[in-house]
Structure 1
């Protein structure tokens, strides 16, 4: 029932221009009052490609290019995360993203020596996070990565390659450390 009401509110929000909805989102990121958590959900639902039920978006979470992001159900994105969907991001069900983590779905090139690096081309690269994934705090997930089901990424990890089902990834850059069945 609650999510039906929230979805109805998000449909009404779609009547507002996209820039106004992003502004409303930014104005409501500062606290974790239940009403603001619900309103953030409604705003994100009005901007993203797909969103499931029970999606928690914490304080000061920065979301860019929401039109290229899909959220499953039972997803929690904790305080101070940065998620940029420019190249496409799919987040499955039962995913927890701990505080101060980043997900980037694009990267800069540096091949054109005539212009500064920051003005070189940007390459899109999708990020897929499957169901039942736990992402530790301060993790950085880079573009062109698939994190398969039932995996854990340790705090502070830089993920620059795929993580297979049922494994623990850790380190800078990430290395596959253990099979979760062996723990």
Structure 2
């Protein structure tokens, strides 16, 4: 390679790195970006490993644990994740200790999902960090925006709930089945509905009852 060609290649590489940094900055700020712009993130996707996990026999506990550690950004101790589950990346999701996720849990983790210790998630729940612009002209090339989700320790999320981009669910709270969580939920409350709203606090009296509603 000639010196001139080498310089051109270096400049092209620098330009590509600058473009990637600009896209990552937009993603971090919750601004709109397109599928083509974010294509360089494809190697971070763990979809083949997710497929493998979903087809691994329950009795192969060591193999399933190794797959979880390869799929997720971090995995705590005593993790239970009932297949099938789905993840856009996997590598952007972090699971705490004593996590229980039931069947058909979907992680739309274009950016980080952080789940604390002792969290329980019922079947058919979606955690999505990503949404799309309302105007169709802005959805060309699957244009989208992404904001991280945080689920603090000891949260319980009921069946068929959807947690939307940017939401934080506080310590110990319960999200009722079928809820759509579009805003932050404070610690130690029961919240239900579409949109999800706080209906009451969790108190010492709940130690003697079964119901959460």
TM range (shorter): 0.7 to 0.9
> Structure 2 CA distance, aligned partners of 1:55 and 1:136?
18
Q: State the shift of 1:122 in Å.
A: 1.1
Aligned residues: 163
| Structure in which a larger fraction of residues adopt helix | 2
Q: Is residue 172 of structure 2 the alignment partner of residue 150 of structure 1?
A: yes
Q: Which residues of structure 2 form unaligned runs of 5+?
A: 1-42, 207-213
TM-score under structure 2 length normalisation: 0.69
| Structure in which a larger fraction of residues adopt strand | 1
Bigger Rg, structure 1 or 2: 2
Q: Out of 90-99 and 43-52, give the one that drifted further.
A: 43-52
Whether the aligned pair in 2 keeps the contact of 1:41 and 1:57 (CA below 8 Å) is no
> Structure 1 CA distance, aligned partners of 2:169 and 2:57?
28
**Partner-residue secondary structure (3-state), 1:67:** coil
Q: State the shift of 1:178 in Å.
A: 0.7
Q: Is residue 88 of structure 2 the alignment partner of residue 88 of structure 1?
A: no
Work out which of the residue numbers 26, 50, 70 in structure 1 matches 2:51: 26
Whether the aligned pair in 2 keeps the contact of 1:80 and 1:101 (CA below 8 Å) is yes
Whether the aligned pair in 2 keeps the contact of 1:69 and 1:89 (CA below 8 Å) is yes
Whether the aligned pair in 2 keeps the contact of 1:29 and 1:40 (CA below 8 Å) is no
> Structure 2 CA distance, aligned partners of 1:118 and 1:101?
27
Whether the aligned pair in 1 keeps the contact of 2:50 and 2:87 (CA below 8 Å) is no
Matches within 5 A, 1:63-142: 63-111=87-135, 113=137, 117=139, 119=141, 121-142=143-164
Check 1:91–1:32 CA distance in 2 against 1; reply closer, same or farther (3 A cut): farther
Check 1:33–1:165 CA distance in 2 against 1; reply closer, same or farther (3 A cut): same
RMSD, matched Cα: 2.2
